[in-house]
A and B are shown apart, each in its own frame.
Chain A
Amino acid sequence: MDGREPGAQPRAGSGHRTVPHTADLQVEAWSATAEGCIGEVVRAVVDSFADLSAARPAGERACTVIAASDADLLAGVLEEVIYRMDADGELPAALALGAIRDAEGGRAMEVRFRMADTATAALVGAVPKAVSLHGLDLRASPGGWTGRVTVDV
């Protein structure tokens, strides 16, 4: 969590908050751009379970995420984070997101992660394992973009 209270209304700039859900972790994020929103969600999910402040750097990873929609792109970036954590023992200490573009009848974006070694991270919550399509959302609103995702832990 980021310390912000659930139930608070989205505000200017970028941010995220966790939302009560009995099963798992639900995150809402807001930003001026869709890419910013996706970045907020990734930070919220990683912060919910791992403290990387003293973790050993593990290099950089780059990938292209392709999905059917902007919302599915949000899920796809998170799924990339979860996959790298399990398969390679790495979590993103920072990330850079390219602009979302049309691709192959859907949407795509380039992602670069600055990774940290999970073996040297401090566990501070339940570890995410998958991204649900239940209530998945990423959309433009009058004040910018808002996103919502439910993560299985």
Chain B
Amino acid sequence: MSTVEIVLTEEGPYRWRIEPQAAMRVPGVVFATRELLPQAAGDKALEQVANVATLPGIVRASFAMPDVHWGYGFPIGGVAATDIEQGGVVSPGGVGFDISCGVRLLAAGVARDELDHERIRRLMDLLDRSVPRGLGRGGLWRLSGPEEMDELLLGGARYAVEHGHGVPRDLERCEDRGVLEGAAPGEVSTRAVERGLQQVGSLGSANHFLEVQAVDTVHDPETAAAFGLRQGQVCVMIHCGSRGLGHQICTDHVRAMDRELHRYRIEVPDRQLACTPVDSPRGRAYLGAMIAAANYGRANRQLLSEAARRAFATALGVGLELVYDVSHNLAKLETHEVDGVTRHLCVHRKGATRALPPGDPSLPADLVRAGQPVLVPGTMGTASYVMVGLPGNDAFCSAAHGAGRVWSRHQALRMVRGERLHSELEARGIAVRPASYRALAEETPDAYKDVDAVAAVTEGAGLAKQVARLVPLGVCKG
């Protein structure tokens, strides 16, 4: 463990700096107000920001988004880029166990004021029955076996759409058009495949959810219109990732890199930061497996979208159009200018969302003028945000990915009873369908930072701009 003493210097109203010391190769930069900084006694998020700054090849800074909180190895809400040509490393812990965990937002052809409580209740009951989640309930799509899994790992959401699970326009509104090139199914272990075979089209548990929301406030009408959002519109937000397959891939490759650190004379202050040069056999193997898991994650959200569409069609007779699908646990090979030089970087975003500004040529044609939608889920009792990337974001075009936890699950269980939380949310008109009351209590809105403050700081720090605020109408919790 690191013994670095964390001293924060305020660089601006929303920006704090940890000067390089000991083994740190770059400074730490934290985007926050004083109130949003990790506060809890024993919280090691800032120490983890400093630890990440020791990684070989890291450039510019070890960044922390406004929702940063204590993870393992990397903080959750951490961004780090390494220079591939300067021995820069890739760290599976910098991606996270849940590779390509992300958020998908769909807009419904119905407005909030067209729905009464009874119609929402019917919709939520349908979703409750049709969205696999929790323990031992399988997935919506039973693959025929490992051979078909290989096809899915190569094809991602595109493979799902080609097999009738969605429409071609869905792919236009997915990051990377629903499939990242370069997947290497051969680098995915048998155990990972076995874990993933029965989970395609399932939410999982913990903080994963499928939520029915309504646009409560439009901050930027022009951009909202480009995204396909308007005041009062009903939406569906889905938060989940690559399930057991992604977790097993991360586990396998962290273990392998942990054993091989000496080969590259790498020392890390936390074993979960195990890493290897991007340009090495192990680095390439991990990235190929990680991309395979990213494609699995996108296919998974595609299947859940289809379940939501069936429920909306049955209960309300309306369709769902994809607004965007973006990962917030991923490493990407990107080109950025650092100190006046164009560099090829491996950008780790662990609990951070890519946030491309208007004009970025990699955006879908109908979003180039507006910029990339940045999806920031809050909590089931407060709100979520749609934001848009801004130019001049020196955190390698990254932004917050959610509200960020402040309470441990343990503390949440001590403070909140699931049955009571359920009643309180229902009394406020939020139809809650939990997998279990205890799991619901662990996800109490009080366990998270104030998402309104996180969104405001994200904008104030120049990371992304607020477009719309969405409030929950109903939630299927994993």
C-alpha gap A26/B251 in the complex (Å): 17
Task: Tell yes or no: A65 within 8 A of B by CB.
Answer: no
Chain A 31-67 near chain B by CB (<8 Å), digits 1 or 0: 0000000000000000001100000000000000000
Give the contact stretch, choosing among B288-296, B352-360, B406-414: B406-414
A136 CB–B CB distance under 8 Å: yes
Specify which of A18, A117, A122, A126 lies most central, judged by the most chain B CB atoms within 10 Å of its CB.
A126
Q: From B82-90, B198-206, B309-317, B466-474, give the one contacting chain A.
A: B198-206
Tell me which of B244, B410, B413, B442 contacts A86 (CB under 8 A): B244
Given A125-B438, A130-B250, A134-B72, is A21 in contact with B408 using a C-beta cutoff of 8 Å? yes
Question: B271, A79: Cβ atoms under 8 Å?
Answer: no
B206, A79: Cβ atoms under 8 Å?
A: no
* A18 CA to B408 CA, complexed, in Å: 10
A9 within 8 A of B: no
Inter-chain residue pair count (beta carbon < 8 A): 130
Is A8 in the interface zone, CB < 8 Å from B?
no
Among B136, B405, B442, point to the contact of A23 (Cβ < 8 A): B405
CB–CB B72/A132 < 8 A:
yes
Q: How big is the B interface, by class? A: 35 or more
* One of B45, B199, B408 near A20 (C-beta < 8 A): B408
B439 touches A129 (CB 8 A): no
- Cβ of A77 within 8 Å of any chain B Cβ, yes or no, is no
Binary per-residue interface labels of chain A (102-139) against chain B in the complex, 1 for a CB within 8 Å, 0 otherwise: 00000000000000011101111111011111111000
Q: Least Cβ distance of A28 to chain B in Å?
A: 12
- By beta carbon, the residue of chain A nearest B435 is A123
B410 lies within 8 A of A130 (CB):
no
Interface assignment of A146: CB less than 8 Å from any CB of chain B: no
The distance in angstroms between the C-alpha atoms of A133 and B268, with both chains bound, is 12
B271 touches A20 (CB 8 A): no
CA distance A27 to B244 in the complex (A): 21
> Could you give, for residues 178-213 of chain B, a 1 whenever the CB lies within 8 Å of some chain A CB and a 0 otherwise?
000000000000010011011100001110000000
A83 touches B191 (CB 8 A): yes
Task: Collect the chain A residues with CB atoms within 8 Å of residue B198's CB.
Answer: 86
Centre residue among A23, A83, A132 by max chain B CB count within 10 A: A23
**Binary interface encoding of chain B residues 235-256 relative to chain A, with 1 for a CB under 8 A from any of its CBs, else 0:** 0000000011001101100100
Binding site for A on B (CB under 8 A): 1, 40, 42-43, 45, 69-73, 76, 97-98, 134-137, 191, 194-195, 197-199, 204-206, 243-244, 247-248, 250-251, 254, 258-259, 270-272, 274, 405-411, 413, 435-436, 438-439, 442
| 19 cross-chain CB contacts under 8 A | A21-B410, A23-B69, A24-B72, A49-B439, A79-B251, A83-B191, A83-B248, A87-B195, A87-B244, A89-B136, A119-B137, A123-B134, A125-B409, A126-B205, A130-B247, A130-B248, A130-B251, A132-B73, A152-B98
